[in-house]
Amino acid sequence: MNQDYIKADNWSIIEEGFDVERVKSSESLFSIGNGAMGQRANFEEHYSGETFQGSYIAGIYYPDKTKVGWWKNGYPEYFAKVLNAPNWIGIDIEINGENLDLHTCTSVRDYRRELNMKEGWYNRSFEATLKNGTEISVNVRRFLSLDLDEVGVIKYEITPLNKDSKIIYKPYIDAGVTNEDANWEEKFWEPLDVKHSENKAFVTARTFKTHFIVTTFMQNSILSNGKNLNITTENIESNKEKIQFIYAVAVAKGETSAIEKIGGYTVSLNHENTQHGAENAIITASAKGYDQLLQDQIASWAKIWEMSDITIDGDVKAQQGIRFNIFQLNQTYLGKDSRLNIGPKGFTGEKYGGSTYWDTEAYCIPFYMATKDQQVARNLLTYRYNQLDKAIENATKLGFSNGAALYPMVTMNGEECHNEWEITFEEIHRNGAIAFAIFNYYRFTGDYSYIPEKGLEVLIGIARFWHQRANFSTHKNKYMILGVTGPNEYENNVNNNFYTNYIAKWCLDYTFEQIQKVSIEYPSDHKRVTEKVKITDAELQSWKKVADNMYFPFSEELNVYLQQDGFLDKELVRVADLDRSQRPINQKWSWDRILRSPYIKQADVLQCFYFFEDHFTKEELNRNFEFYESFTVHESSLSPCVHSIQAAVLDKMEMAYTFYLRTSRLDLDDYNKEVEEGCHITSMAGTWMSIVEGFGGMRVKNDALHFSPKIPKEWNGYSFKINFRNQILKVSINHNDTQFSLEGATELTVFVNGKAVLVEPNSLVTV
Amino acid sequence: MNQDYIKADNWSIIEEGFDVERVKSSESLFSIGNGAMGQRANFEEHYSGETFQGSYIAGIYYPDKTKVGWWKNGYPEYFAKVLNAPNWIGIDIEINGENLDLHTCTSVRDYRRELNMKEGWYNRSFEATLKNGTEISVNVRRFLSLDLDEVGVIKYEITPLNKDSKIIYKPYIDAGVTNEDANWEEKFWEPLDVKHSENKAFVTARTFKTHFIVTTFMQNSILSNGKNLNITTENIESNKEKIQFIYAVAVAKGETSAIEKIGGYTVSLNHENTQHGAENAIITASAKGYDQLLQDQIASWAKIWEMSDITIDGDVKAQQGIRFNIFQLNQTYLGKDSRLNIGPKGFTGEKYGGSTYWDTEAYCIPFYMATKDQQVARNLLTYRYNQLDKAIENATKLGFSNGAALYPMVTMNGEECHNEWEITFEEIHRNGAIAFAIFNYYRFTGDYSYIPEKGLEVLIGIARFWHQRANFSTHKNKYMILGVTGPNEYENNVNNNFYTNYIAKWCLDYTFEQIQKVSIEYPSDHKRVTEKVKITDAELQSWKKVADNMYFPFSEELNVYLQQDGFLDKELVRVADLDRSQRPINQKWSWDRILRSPYIKQADVLQCFYFFEDHFTKEELNRNFEFYESFTVHESSLSPCVHSIQAAVLDKMEMAYTFYLRTSRLDLDDYNKEVEEGCHITSMAGTWMSIVEGFGGMRVKNDALHFSPKIPKEWNGYSFKINFRNQILKVSINHNDTQFSLEGATELTVFVNGKAVLVEPNSLVTV
């Protein structure tokens, strides 16, 4: 953890001073994205030091052949992973015959990066002395347009400080890129075509196997003191996958020269002809020009912040943390396209393959439901609906039948991509989260239509899986679920993981109820679905039998639910009593030692208490929280947020605040020493939950919003907004009171600590 | 299973008829070896059909970089594997301008392979018509000398049948070989030197990383109708790793031409200068000549058979099966060199890397103890003693301390080579078998000296491991061993595997006793060892506490020990009730399904009853056998032998016989459809145990041999020999009586069904 690395600031992420050791970390933290594409904060100019190059396009993936030491039946042949996309940001710079390279400059001064989250741009500035003695001042700004989401813009300004200089700009597009995480060092891109005209260039390439076609484009302008010189490239260097332009300018000492580069991607997902698409994108973008594009960008981000901002008064680091989380979530996924989803690293790295995990349903959907139009959450549900056939195929491969569906652990197109048996085959609780999200969507939005239209089929596939996956133990006269991995991945192949058994039973019950409800309220949908899936009353009764007789491990002695059958046989040394030098255990201990230890990676029994809070008493929550929290090492980014929420519920506010800081500044302070690999995007939604559901105590019960506001002592006040069924409610909380204000024309009754409060539109209600 | 493939014969393995589909299987079955080297039955001449080329040298390995999908802490960086060695058997043949290639001949007739186990040679003969119309008759004999174990001999005879022919022999050595199972398609051999003089050639190569130097050599003679023509090579083709000689001869129709090739390897393990070694090997071998070498071979095998043969009267397939097993064991390991061990595939394939497994201690040692000088078994024990430091290192890496030793699951030089966490880290019962072998060696040979000299240190390292590996469950007030994989690899990461807990407790108790015994009987060894390992009385008392309070899962209801804590929660459908189409489950089911099923790959609880038979009553054995046998699918080659022995003990003779056939003809009848990959060498020792310990009922109790002879109804009689403490006892059993005869000068009292029988030397005793 490095608390001095990123400067505290309410609206920006700021790094000051050039440190070669931090280049890769900053490349992650200063990443930019617009939902359709994104990239790490790689330098435009060549850098010979250590760097991790990454540009990504949403929905463009490659099925990399699985690498495995010991093949197990059922493993997938491929791991679909997000692709490192052709580089369009590159601009080699030559100054007085020397290539600009921060790694070889004799001095770099006043180096500063800023990611302005309010306005949605990234800026880098520095002064440097080259080996040839030239001193220059550089300022580079880059942003990816929210409005024209195929387009990004770079303005790269250079001012020679100590002599008149010859500057050569060499902007390029390079499709000769590879993934760092490629299993077999295969090439993923097949170059098809390189074209250019005037200051424009186009490189079209196709992904092997998946055959996505992408045209990467650029258009360059050279400016002097802000004025376009209207010069064209002197020369063109190109091969089958790369094209580079050459612009040479003489710049007097103290004058500022600049290159503006418009670039981006058009993809065959959206265009019949990506080349034409790219030409049009350039025309549209250049018609606006750099300044207008930047103004539009600021306005678009203002709109996002208007709805999704959370303010925190009196704690800059907490404020910066939550805004960084909200900013990254919006950079990654904007909910426009139901073919897309939320990769764990967004556009900030390759790890986890950019694929979809249960993170989406368990952590991200609440954020998107509350801060966007409900269509966004519905798109995320539809993504799974569209992959139902594949989930059924997946389950069939594992020996299930009759339309049972097992959603993949990791997926891009619906096919399972993961290949570690204890996860791939056994971390089946993911199926529960997907059903829970359907329930949660209806609970929050009140939009029941999704269930008869689409959700019911998904629920039935999932219920069938659980029904078949449980087995009857004659020994205990109960149904059990053997051989699973729960949310706590520090236990593998355990029997009767409480969380898994609980959500399995819940899925069976809930699906049963929804079938009844749809049969009454949407008879034609009921007929359509039940005929399609051929469900019988006998099958439903059999579900009921399994659900009613599900086994839940419980300790009478401790009065807590057991994480799994064998939990109490472990050596129950609390984290507080574990030698600090042994942590993080995932780096210090061999895997078997972790597995037989009582240490918990992330909320597991407590995840159940989070999802189904109202099924349990506060006393039960307290007992289980105190027991399991004492063994939790929080070595997953998804862990602290759930603990923060529950600590807040239990009035353990100091603990709640500590967890909040940990979740919100996980990447900024690099708690896990791995931010180089990218940011933890999906857990950022958990940070949002920590404030809104934790401190704010927001819940939806019986179609109404409930709050039980609390505030960390470190804060003066905080506020957030909720889109509740198309009504925008702003909630502001300080140490004395809670204020509500409502947009629109209709009143809304909310509950504060159980007491009804009527909020009239456009008037402030203080409680 | 193909019962017609190999012809039934008492002494030979015979294949008749050329079938391209069987080439790879026969390459395994007709493999030859002499303990120091060996090779698959690849054709000498070029073959363009499917083949799996393999030549191997004992003790020459390569650390192949580990391949793994998801790295876990503690995984080894390398997997040491047996190397495909340079090819010295190759002889390209050109007849009237066409290369002889059985895959392209227009007809192949009277094709016959014979592996003569009695005399230790392999013969291949056929008639073929080439595309150019030449008809030839070919006879090739090959053997690897037992006496000169660096030398092999080939006699390749050709008779043109329909015309006078020009035959060109092109014998070669090729070090440009690769492993089929190489993880990264790396080259393992670096060629150093290619030399030749007259009819001799030498190719010296060095293994990368391990730097073993090997000179592969050949000397060729061309014969006509049995007479050496004394011609030299016409021409030499060579590059940096291959050398080929060219001999052209005119052969009249009906005349027989031949090439005799002497070849083999000299290795830096045994020679300062491998080139000189090779020259000397050729001199020694050619001084003898082909005929003498063959006579010596027959005589040497006669000596082996004299001691280790088992005869079975009235059941040719059973006879052939057991001899094949005994033959292969002797081809693989002769016990001369404590640096060597017994790879699971011997010299017949690459699978399992040719490394050492617990198979050696659990299955092979009894065979070698009873059929060889006791030094052989002592060498196998010493192999582990020499690797004790590495075992301590291995345990340290996994978090153990104070000299605790965990022997590797798979090893070549003492370092762990396996990388599947559920096996590598958790199949720790192997440590128990290594201790058991020490006990077993003393029990059988009466040679206690090994324990004070070497064994005690090994025992202490192992006991320390178990002591630390067990944890106290406050819940059950017992010591437990969590997170293990037992011998049944169809369960992973289970708690309290009965076998593991039992052998752990036994190791602690046994080591404790040996320390006391050595302290009294060998005080200076006791002082040396205890000072070296710094053991205290407090530590010993702590061992005792763990051993005395070890937990053993047991079902009161079923009155059987439980394979592990969760066994009874499984869906207990017996194998007999499992749809036949679902088997073998390791091919039909996904891994998770196998894991949560009750099906058992190989003896697990029953392995405990096998090792510690005298700790349990026959009634207990019967109950546990009937319970676990009903769930056992025997998908490990190591499974049927233990079940056969126990079925015999329990008078279930039909079952015992069925299991015997399955174990003894596993490869010959290719039960598991995988003989192409090589033969199952280590389980062959289990076949021997099935007869001697199963049907013969041989046990050693209180320093005496006990027998409880039984005989399958299919047999007329059978006999075997036992080297019991340097006395050679022959046991012959038929349906009426048991006969004993003894070599040497001293009498021996044995027990038959508990009754003492005095056997005088050189006289037959019938019981």
| Shortest alpha-carbon distance between residue B536 and chain A (Å) | 25
Contact list, B482 vs chain A (CB under 8 Å): 566, 569-570, 596
CA-only gyration radius of chain A, Å: 27
Partners of residue A15 on adjacent β-strands: A113
Is A592–B492 a contact, with Cβ atoms under 8 angstroms apart? no
Query: Residues B342, B276: one domain?
Result: no
Q: Which residues of chain A have pLDDT under 50?
A: 1
Is A73–B592 a contact, with Cβ atoms under 8 angstroms apart? no
Q: Confirm if A193 and A203 have CB atoms less than 8 A apart.
A: yes
Domain containing B77: what range?
A: 33-308
Is B399–A565 a contact, with Cβ atoms under 8 angstroms apart? no
pTM over 0.90? The answer is: yes
Q: Is A614 on the interface with B (CB under 8 A)?
A: no
Q: Confirm if A705 and A750 have CB atoms less than 8 A apart.
A: yes
Query: Residues B295, B343: one domain?
Result: no
Domain final residue, candidates B679, B695, B711: B695
Q: Is B399 on the interface with A (CB under 8 A)?
A: yes
Chain B: residue nearest A480 by CA?
B569
Q: What is the pLDDT of residue B418?
A: 87
- For residue B497, the domain's CATH number is 1.50.10.10
Please return the burial class of A671, using the count of CB atoms within 10 Å of its CB with bins 0-12, 13-18 and 19+: buried
- Active-site residue identified among B15, B489, B677, B693: B489
Distance of alpha carbon A368 from alpha carbon A374, whole angstroms: 8
Query: Residues B406, B470: one domain?
Result: yes
Is B566–A569 a contact, with Cβ atoms under 8 angstroms apart? no
Is B68–A68 a contact, with Cβ atoms under 8 angstroms apart? yes
ipTM value of the model?
Answer: 0.91
Residue A417 is assigned to a structural domain of this protein: no
Query: Residues B302, B373: one domain?
Result: no
In B239-325 the beta strands, taken as DSSP E runs, fall at: 242-251, 257-267, 311-313
CA B755 to the chain's CA centroid: 36
- Using DSSP bridges, classify how beta strands A704-707 and A748-752 pair: parallel, antiparallel or unpaired: parallel
DSSP annotation of A85: P
The count of structural domains within chain A is 1
Domain final residue, candidates B645, B672, B695: B695
Distance of alpha carbon B697 from alpha carbon B42, whole angstroms: 40
| Shortest alpha-carbon distance between residue A23 and chain B (Å) | 26
Query: Residues B54, B124: one domain?
Result: yes
Residue B23 is assigned to a structural domain of this protein: no
Report A:583-612 residues touching B (Cβ under 8 A). 586-596
Q: Which residues of A246-276 are buried (b: 16+ CB within 10 A; e: fewer)?
A: bbebebeeeebbbbbbbbbbbbbbebeebbe
Q: Confirm if A10 and A66 have CB atoms less than 8 A apart.
A: no
Query: Residues B468, B565: one domain?
Result: yes
Q: Is A108 on the interface with B (CB under 8 A)?
A: no
Query: Residues B422, B291: one domain?
Result: no
Beta-carbon pairs below 8 A across chains A and B? 134
Residue A184 is assigned to a structural domain of this protein: yes
Q: What share of chain B is helix, strand, coil (3-state, %, to 5)?
A: 35, 25, 40
Domain final residue, candidates B674, B695, B716: B695
Q: Is A402 on the interface with B (CB under 8 A)?
A: no
Chain A: residue nearest B493 by CA?
A493
Is A399–B493 a contact, with Cβ atoms under 8 angstroms apart? no
Q: Is the dihedral of CA B619, B624, B629, B635 positive or negative?
A: negative
Which among A398, A532, A509, A534 is positioned nearest to A459, based on CA atoms?
Answer: A509
Residue A214 is assigned to a structural domain of this protein: yes
| CB atoms inside a 10 Å sphere around CB A745 | 8
Element spanning A756, H or E: strand A755-759
Q: Confirm if B448 and B454 have CB atoms less than 8 A apart.
A: no
Is A70–B420 a contact, with Cβ atoms under 8 angstroms apart? yes
Q: Nearest CB to A399: which of B73, B475, B590?
A: B590
Q: Which residues contact B731 (CB under 8 A, 6 or more apart)?
A: B696, B698, B707, B709, B719, B720, B721, B722, B738, B739, B740
Q: Confirm if A234 and A206 have CB atoms less than 8 A apart.
A: no
Q: Nearest CB to A421: which of B475, B557, B591?
A: B591
Helices A523-533 and A498-521 sit at what angle, rounded to 10 degrees? 130
Q: Is B482 on the interface with A (CB under 8 A)?
A: yes
Is A592–B474 a contact, with Cβ atoms under 8 angstroms apart? no
Mutation site, A552, A554, A569, A599, interface B, largest B CB count within 10 A: A569
Q: What share of chain A is helix, strand, coil (3-state, %, to 5)?
A: 35, 25, 40
Contact list, A494 vs chain B (CB under 8 Å): 493
Q: Is the dihedral of CA A300, A306, A310, A312 positive or negative?
A: positive
Q: Is A736 on the interface with B (CB under 8 A)?
A: no
Instruction: Mark whether B489 is an active-site residue.
Output: yes
Chain A: residue nearest B483 by CA?
A596
Q: Which residues of chain B have pLDDT under 70?
A: 1-3
H-type helices in A136-273, by residue range? none
Kindly state the tokens that stand for A110.
């006043």
Residue B163 is assigned to a structural domain of this protein: yes
Is B67–A69 a contact, with Cβ atoms under 8 angstroms apart? yes
Residue B718 is assigned to a structural domain of this protein: no
Q: What is the pLDDT of residue A681?
A: 92
Query: Residues B440, B346: one domain?
Result: yes
Q: Is A398 on the interface with B (CB under 8 A)?
A: yes
The percentage of residues in chain B with a pLDDT greater than 90, rounded to a whole number, is: 89
Q: What is the pLDDT of residue B70?
A: 80
Distance of alpha carbon A590 from alpha carbon B394, whole angstroms: 11
Helices A388-397 and A374-386 sit at what angle, rounded to 10 degrees? 40
Query: Residues B517, B568: one domain?
Result: yes
Which among A653, A651, A767 is positioned nearest to A714, based on CA atoms?
Answer: A653
- For residue B47, the domain's CATH number is 2.70.98.40
Residue B759 is assigned to a structural domain of this protein: no
Q: Is A427 on the interface with B (CB under 8 A)?
A: no
Query: Residues B343, B292: one domain?
Result: no
Element spanning B214, H or E: strand B213-224
Contact list, A400 vs chain B (CB under 8 Å): none
Distance of alpha carbon A278 from alpha carbon A275, whole angstroms: 5
| CB atoms inside a 10 Å sphere around CB A238 | 16
- Active-site residue identified among A457, A489, A635, A676: A489
Query: Residues B417, B542: one domain?
Result: yes
| Shortest alpha-carbon distance between residue B79 and chain A (Å) | 11
Query: Residues B279, B409: one domain?
Result: no
